[in-house]
Structure 1
Amino acid sequence: MVSMSLMRIVSPCWKPSVEGENSSNGGDAAGRAEGLLWYKDSGQHVNGEFSMAVIQANNLLEDYSQLESGPLSSVDPGPQGTFVGVYDGHGGPEAARFVNERLFENIKTIHGAEFTSENNGMSADVINKAFLATEEEFLSLVKNQWLHKPQIASVGACCLVGVVCSGVLYIANAGDSRAVLGRLERAIKEIKAVQLSYEHNASIESVREELHSLHPDDPHIVVLKNKVWRVKGLIQVTFSMFH
């Protein structure tokens, strides 16, 4: 399931300030700091800056992230923009790594197919189709590999994506990651947090109610285990790619 929101709060699109400096992928460490696996200091774009950091919570890092700035379409010339992806892997790193490799490429391909000179082509529908295409590709991989690599059938990834294009910010979420915008309230000179996405997590009452409605014959679809609500007593996240 993909949760989408569309907000006209960004202008204009970001572009790389230096040719070739257009991505920061999981594991591309710019250095280490106390408590951080790796971090990338602020990078300058035409209309803003970005920075990224990773904190390792488990012995095996299952998560990936990426930032791409430049053409968002396979069509040349295509519209410029910025893509940010955060992929929270669970059960292993394979799913998150696959999403890191394929989701942005699928967005560019689908966006390119719908791009015209009158229409920049980017839309919530393009991102949704890219999520679904990435999922189908991974499921095909699982079918081909699970007999000799059965563990791959049990991995998944939460996917949180932000796309900035033509002055519009698109947020897509499958899982329980959260996008938050810091907005400066000039009148009181404070930065306020604005939630841009909603989690799919069994700790949320409305999500548990939805699961019960979808599975009326299963009284154990959500179980309170060690004071934490979990799907079948196993996992908190209720929707993610490949699960």
Structure 2
Amino acid sequence: MWPWLEKIASACWDRVRRYAPTSTRRDEDGGSGSGADADDLLLWSRDLGRHAAGDFSFAVVQANEVLEDYSQVETGAAATFVGVYDGHGGAEASRFISNHLSAHLVRLAQESGAVSENVVRNAFSATEEGFLSLVRRTHLIKPSIAAIGSCCLVGVIWRKTLYLANLGDSRAVVGCLVGSNKIVAEQLTRDHNASIEEVRQELKSLHPDDSQIVVLKNGVWRIKGIIQVYR
């Protein structure tokens, strides 16, 4: 077993932490997220923490009345996992991803002996199938769960390699220093959003008999006239 995987499997990672921010959220040590205005319940942040490749910090601004998003950082001596899950229609999907995706990644990495593109892809697939199974079991008592989803943006740093994966239109960027004092954001992931012509063409090719698969509504392209995000 790889040393960092052993740390994960034995829960010896400094799990920093599975964030489930709400308007009343507090850090696991009992303190409020630092760096935010204590009177602003829709904003919280966490000061710098350590991971295998350097420092990290988190900041969240709540846009909706009900926060449907989850995020997490799992870090150890040789590896770091970061996940951002933008919920839609409710928090059940993003919560499920937060509770299961990293565990699937650990299990599959243990089985293969390394982190790889296939390991990350298979962890996504296992998480999706798990949530679909939950929907099948519970939709009769909670029909709304069948209309709940989440974007999923993940970064894994292992052996000085960054693996990125996303479904939906959350975006990963990297700051590049240009000259001596200017930082430019370089996009690393591809958005899955109906506002993009390539996405609309893909949807139309997948659903040739559905003339309403993408609809221009109030100047915005939406899938079935409802939502912009794809995948």
TM-score, normalised relative to structure 2: 0.85
Specify the alignment match of 1:113 in structure 2: 111
How far residue 130 of structure 1 moved from its aligned partner, in angstroms, is 0.2
Specify the alignment match of 1:41 in structure 2: 47
The two structures, once aligned, show a CA RMSD in angstroms of 1.9
Aligned-partner Cα distance in 2 for 1:181–1:111: 26
Inter-CA distance 129–45: structure 2 relative to 1 (3 Å threshold): closer
Inter-CA distance 36–21: structure 2 relative to 1 (3 Å threshold): farther
Aligned residues of 2:173 and 2:185 also touching (Cα < 8 A)? yes
Secondary structure at the residue paired with 2:127? helix
Secondary structure at the residue paired with 1:23? coil
1:168 paired to 2:166: no
Specify the alignment match of 1:82 in structure 2: 80
Which consecutive unaligned segments of at least 5 residues does structure 2 have? Answer: 1-6, 22-26
Aligned-partner Cα distance in 1 for 2:181–2:76: 33
Aligned residues of 1:178 and 1:195 also touching (Cα < 8 A)? yes
How far residue 220 of structure 1 moved from its aligned partner, in angstroms, is 1.0
1:181 aligned partner, one-letter code: V
Aligned-partner Cα distance in 2 for 1:87–1:171: 14
Return the match for 1:222 from 214, 219, 231: 214
1:81 aligned partner, one-letter code: A
The sequence identity of aligned pairs, in percent, is 53
How far residue 234 of structure 1 moved from its aligned partner, in angstroms, is 0.5
Specify the alignment match of 1:51 in structure 2: 57
Specify the alignment match of 2:24 in structure 1: none
Specify the alignment match of 1:139 in structure 2: 132
Which consecutive unaligned segments of at least 5 residues does structure 1 have? Answer: 1-14, 72-79, 116-120
1:191 aligned partner, one-letter code: I
Aligned-partner Cα distance in 1 for 2:220–2:89: 19
Q: Quick check: 91-100 or 37-46, which moved more?
A: 37-46
Specify the alignment match of 1:206 in structure 2: 198
Q: Which has the higher contact order (CA 8 A, sep 6+)?
A: 1
Report which of the two has the higher share of helix: 2
Q: Quick check: 53-62 or 29-38, which moved more?
A: 29-38
Cα deviation, 1:51-106, whole Å, max 9, x if unaligned, reads: 101111111100000000027xxxxxxxx300000000001000000000000000
Specify the alignment match of 1:7 in structure 2: none
Secondary structure at the residue paired with 2:102? helix
Aligned-partner Cα distance in 2 for 1:139–1:57: 27
Question: For this pair of structures, how many residues does the alignment match?
Answer: 208
Aligned-partner Cα distance in 1 for 2:123–2:51: 26
Return the match for 1:30 from 28, 33, 42: 33
1:190 paired to 2:193: no
